[in-house]
Structure 1
Amino acid sequence: MDRKYFLLDKNYILKEAQLQKKSELLDFVIDEVKQSYLIFCNPLGIEDDTIVRIKSFRDNIANNLNNFYDSLAGIFRYKIGTNQLELLFDGESHYEKYLKDWDQTFRGWVNDFCRHERFLKAILEATVFCEGEHMALLADNRLKYFITNYFELKIYKYKGIINMKVA
């Protein structure tokens, strides 16, 4: 990791914590989406080819969700605010605290996201039903659109994260 500032900057510690949790949380997203889709979109439990394909999907490599994860990680760092380390009196290191906070926040967001059918379908398109680069790109764009509307934030590659202006 390229460090430009001092090593104990809050954002560096938080980024490292987010990177460590990445594979675990992406696996959680896939499992949660599969479960939510089966509950909300197939409440009778009818087994057709689509449902069998969703249930049998075991690929835990979620490469197509990297941009989604990185966007949520950036939004989390944006929403936390300052880069000042807070005083901790419970004996926990800042790294452990950020691991726990990020894990809880991410899981909460995903649980909220799973209430939206568009999100469920975009994740399934990016993972279970992804059959090429074009399909992955479309699913990534759907996820960007979902995040933009959900948080009312616009993520720019060079400008960073900006609040959307409501007319």
Structure 2
Amino acid sequence: MIQKYFPLDKNYILEQAQLDQEERLIVYLIDFAKKFYLDQFNPLGLEDDTVKQIKAHNTEYTDRLVEFYRNLAGVYRYKHGNNQLEFLFDGKDHYDKYTVDWVATYEEWLVDFCLRPNFLKAVLELTVFYPEGRKAELAESRMKAFIHQHFELKIYKYKGIVKMKIA
């Protein structure tokens, strides 16, 4: 299992559903970011070096976005993950319901995230342009800062999620 992000992070069914979708949803994030960039910042379809590199990029699973995905999954559990199982009258089990709900929220969040240029730039830097060394660390830091700013939550390695106090 992954890190416990807050004391009541015990919805193990939701956590497993998120882990099982990890690879597929990270690849979805990369593909979505590339398409979004091309649609928003190159509506005429002009071919320059950047556009050629984005189009030529073969999306594969990338470990550079795993931490971001897991932090985002932790934020979702923090905001939506109730430990009590609800009654489901449609015949589905909780795993299926959590999977559908998580994927829908994740895809919804990506639309909002990609409207922010810093997020889009960081995703493309970590995947398509794949910098080595210092630049990669800066892009990963921007991803953490994005979660901090967007959700007003700070994620610490050992303390987990802490709600930010606005003065």
- Tell me the TM-score normalized by structure 2: 0.91
Mapping of 1:93-104 within 5 angstroms? 93-104=93-104
Cα 1:10/1:156, change in 2 over 3 Å: closer
Mapping of 1:3-18 within 5 angstroms? 11-18=11-18
Matching residue of 1:52: 52
Question: Does residue 30 in structure 1 map to residue 26 in structure 2?
Answer: no
Matching residue of 2:137: 137
Cα deviations by residue, 1:106-157 (Å, 9 ceiling, x for unpaired): 1110111111111110000110111313332211101011111011111111
Matching residue of 1:120: 120
1:59 Cα offset (Å) = 3.2
Task: Answer whether contact 1:154 1:162 (CA < 8 A) is retained.
Answer: yes
Report the residue type matching 2:133 in the other structure: E
Matching residue of 2:74: 74
Q: In 2, distance between residues paired with 1:82 and 1:158? A: 22
Q: In 1, distance between residues paired with 2:59 and 2:102? A: 24
Matching residue of 2:161: 161
Cα deviations by residue, 1:36-87 (Å, 9 ceiling, x for unpaired): 1111222222101111000111131221000110010000110014311111
1:10 Cα offset (Å) = 5.8
Report the residue type matching 2:68 in the other structure: F
- List gaps (5 residues or longer) in structure 2: 3-8
Q: In 1, distance between residues paired with 2:137 and 2:42? A: 27
Matching residue of 1:84: 84
Q: In 2, distance between residues paired with 1:75 and 1:97? A: 18
Q: In 2, distance between residues paired with 1:159 and 1:143? A: 19
The alignment partner of 2:158 has SS state of: coil
Task: Answer whether contact 1:153 1:164 (CA < 8 A) is retained.
Answer: yes
Matching residue of 2:6: none
- List gaps (5 residues or longer) in structure 1: 3-8
Report the residue type matching 2:89 in the other structure: F
- Tell me the TM-score normalized by structure 1: 0.91
Q: In 2, distance between residues paired with 1:115 and 1:164? A: 23
Residue identity (%): 53
Q: In 2, distance between residues paired with 1:110 and 1:99? A: 16
Matching residue of 1:109: 109
1:105 Cα offset (Å) = 0.6
